Every structure is written in C-alpha cells, then in structure tokens.
C-alpha cells in the first residue's frame, strides 16, 4: 500500500511541476493518478463505493462546466466553450482523476477550499508581480493542495481520510 501512496504523491508533484512550468500536463499522469487513487479507494471501500463516488463527483464537475458554459454564453450572447479558455482540459482531467478518492461532500469541500487557495495564491503573486501570465495552473495548485492533504493523512493515520472527511 505504501508504494501506491508514494506513487500518487510523486504523480501529484509531477502534475504540479508540469502545469506550473509548461501550463500543460501529460495526459498519462492523470491516468496514473486515477489508477493510484482508484486502487487505494478500492482496497479501503470496495468496487461499488468507489464507482459510486466517481460517478457522483464526476457528475458534479460536469454540472459545474454546464453552468459555466451557460453563464459565459449568456453573458457574451453567443455559445462559449469554457474549455477553450476559461477552464483547461487538464483541470477537468485532474478533477475527474481525483473523483474516485473523495466522498461527495469531501469532494465539494476539497474543490471549494482548493479554489479559494488558488485565488489567494494568484492574488499574492499578482500583487508581488511574480505572476507568470494570464493562465493559472489550476490543476498544479490543486495537486499541491491534495499532496499536502495526503501528507497530513499519512502522518495522522486513522484521523483523516479524504474519502471519509465529511461522511454523513
């Protein structure tokens, strides 16, 4: 189990590095992340719960994209593909890759907290004039956030687990 955990942490660091450095991530890193988190989830909860979580969380992400598309399309009075500039396909792949790891409420909590963290980091970088352009490495920042969360989870076993964070 430790090698799975280690490979997931290494994959998260690679995603963060590639997204920050190149503003693009190799697709196979998302697949590797999904497989690592999927194996971890499967071993802890079984196939049915893992698939149920993936489906619910992916549905949430897709509904977010539909809402963003509707909002920007109405605002611009023409159809706007949000994956064309507002939200990267790598960001979508990252969220789908981690969907198997979290329960629904934990996923929403992670999503909101990571977006708030990204906003804070982006503002700090813009104010300090360290910003590297208009594109924000969202998947990279979220990968760092998940890395830190999983490190906490590893150091405090039994107290925190991403998929059990907000079980109701």
pLDDT tens, 20-43? 999 999 999 999 999 999 999 999
Model's pTM, two decimal places?
Answer: 0.90
pLDDT tens figures, 154-168: 787 665 555 454 444
* Whole-number pLDDT of residue 168: 40
CA distance 60 to 107: 9
In angstroms, the CA 55 to CA 13 distance is: 26
Q: Which two tokens stand for residue 69?
A: 């598309």
Residues of the chain with pLDDT under 50: 163, 165-168
Rounded Cα distance, 60 and 39, in Å = 22
Give the model's pLDDT for residue 77.
96
Question: Which pair of tokens denotes residue 14?
Answer: 């690679």
Q: Which two tokens stand for residue 55?
A: 């489906």
Share of the chain above pLDDT 90, in %: 76
- Contact between 92 and 61 under an 8 Å Cβ cutoff? The reply is yes
């Amino acid at each position: 189990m430790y090698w799975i955990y280690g490979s997931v942490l290494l994959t998260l660091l690679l995603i963060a590095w590639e997204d920050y450095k190149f503003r693009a991530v190799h697709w196979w890193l998302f697949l590797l992340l999904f497989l690592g988190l999927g194996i971890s989830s499967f071993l802890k909860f079984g196939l049915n719960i893992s698939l149920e979580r993936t489906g619910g969380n992916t549905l949430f992400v897709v509904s977010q994209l539909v809402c963003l598309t509707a909002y920007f399309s109405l605002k611009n009075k023409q159809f706007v593909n949000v994956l064309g500039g507002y939200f990267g396909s790598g960001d979508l792949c990252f969220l789908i890759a981690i969907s198997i790891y979290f329960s629904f409420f934990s996923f929403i909590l992670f999503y909101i907290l990571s977006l708030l963290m990204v906003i804070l980091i982006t503002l700090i970088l813009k104010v300090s004039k360290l910003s590297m352009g208009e594109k924000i490495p969202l998947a990279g920042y979220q990968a760092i956030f998940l890395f830190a969360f999983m490190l906490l989870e590893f150091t405090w076993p039994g107290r925190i687990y991403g998929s059990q964070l907000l079980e109701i």
